[in-house]
Amino acid sequence: MSLANRSPARRRMLLASDRADRSRELANILQNAGEVEHTSTLNMPENPEGRFSGVVVDIDLTSVNSMQVIRRKLIGKAYQALPRLFVLADALHHESTQAWALGATDTIRRPFDPESILHRVRYSFPETPDELSESEAALSEGVAAAQSVMVKIFEKLPAGNPLTLDDVMQVEKAILKALKRSTLREWLIAVNKHHIRSYRHCLMVTGYAVAFAQHLNMREHDQRRLARAALIHDVGKAYIPLSILDKPGKLTEQDEIEIAQHARIGYDVLSRQGYFPREMLDVVLHHHELLDGTGYPDALRDEQISDIVRMLTIVDTFSMLVEKRGDTPPMHHADAFAFMERMTGKLDMQLLQAFRPVAFGA
């Protein structure tokens, strides 16, 4: 049975709230993703290890008392390894900051959108690995690892929480293992279910990049380089308004101009942190450059564009073409590849042909 079709009943969640009636709707939604044990924050079990896939916290994040109670519970060793999904009452920056300070691994907001919540839960709280086959367990862990970086990029980083090189490097092994033990097709099926377009795109690009590196029999060190570059290549989009990124219709010329700023924004953000090697910053800044000088933001040409940037440009372009974006239907893989073949002079054609088996095998 594939991971996508497996029954979700094996996932067990702890829902901790400071007011039972307020969380009843959420409990009903969560039951569609697995078993739910609903308890007050004061009565959270002392030894949750092995019993739960994760904890959902629904408390008043503006209440000092509620914060103190949940903090005492979550700082204990028994809870440290559990993923934590916090409920935010609204878009207030204060609540978001409090949740991340308490160790949130993801957040959801009121009013509840059931489909969105179930997507978040399934990524934040993967099924227990010993209930899955070896390949399914590797896939589940790899997708969850990559997803954790997306949360840090698109939610934590704009809220003022730094992204470190270690944040990215510590998930590489799980991603490489997932693509080696399962298949690119299974990876794409899993990540395509994500409801956030920017997350979905980065996860797809990561899958294609690692599969490309493995197809070329690159050393594991180089596979890791591709994985980390793919994960962070669109970091600047965390600072582009969602009204543009998730716009359902056609983008205006001004929208396109604003989105094009993401390469420079991402580079500037990561450069200020001082953690990231030049190669990764090069990918963030230049993954939209083209060999004939018509790309952006620096209109680089030919040998000014590094090999790793050329590879990421190919997988990024292909992923964009085969994804559903707003009201634009996805291209068939053969049509997308043919479109890229017509980009002679813009893309590295030798690398593109090397990518062919990956593109058609997905």
Instruction: Write the burial class of residue 264 (CB in 10 Å: 0-12 exposed, 13-18 middle, 19+ buried).
Output: middle
Exposure string for 142-152, b = 16+ CB within 10 A, e = fewer: bbbbbbbbbbb
CA 251 remoteness from chain centre = 23
| DSSP conformational letter for 3 | T
As a whole number of Å, the end-to-end CA separation of the chain is 19
Q: Provide mean pLDDT across the span 124-133.
A: 61
Short-list 146, 137, 134, CA closest to 175: 146
Q: In this predicted model, what pLDDT tens digit does every residue of 109-126 receive, in sequence order?
A: 888 888 888 877 877 786
8-132 is classed in which CATH architecture? Answer: 3-Layer(aba) Sandwich (3.40)
pLDDT higher than threshold 50 for residue 5: no
Is the whole model's pTM more than 0.85, yes or no?
no
Type of residue numbered 8? P
pLDDT higher than threshold 50 for residue 7: no
Given CATH 2.60.40.10, say whether it is the number of domain 144-361.
no
Q: Provide mean pLDDT across the span 190-201.
A: 82
Q: Where are the domains of the chain?
A: 8-132, 144-361
The DSSP annotation for 167-194 comes to HHHTTHHHHHHHHHHS-HHHHHHHHTT-
Q: In this predicted model, what pLDDT tens digit does every residue of 327-356 receive, in sequence order?
A: 677 899 999 999 999 999 999 999 999 999
CA 23 remoteness from chain centre = 27
Q: In this predicted model, what pLDDT tens digit does every residue of 259-315 receive, in sequence order?
A: 999 999 999 999 998 889 999 999 999 999 999 999 999 999 999 999 999 999 999
Please give the Cα distance from 290 to 226 (Å, whole number).
Answer: 19
pLDDT given for residue 227 in this prediction: 97
* Fold agreement (8-132, 144-361): no
Q: In this predicted model, what pLDDT tens digit does every residue of 40-50 receive, in sequence order?
A: 999 998 888 77
Short-list 229, 184, 188, CA closest to 211: 184
CB neighbours of 64 closer than 8 A, spacing ≥ 6?
Answer: none
pLDDT higher than threshold 90 for residue 321: yes
**Helix (H), strand (E) at residue 39:** strand 35-40
Q: In this predicted model, what pLDDT tens digit does every residue of 140-164 receive, in sequence order?
A: 889 989 988 998 999 889 988 899 9
pLDDT higher than threshold 70 for residue 31: yes
Please give the Cα distance from 67 to 90 (Å, whole number).
Answer: 17
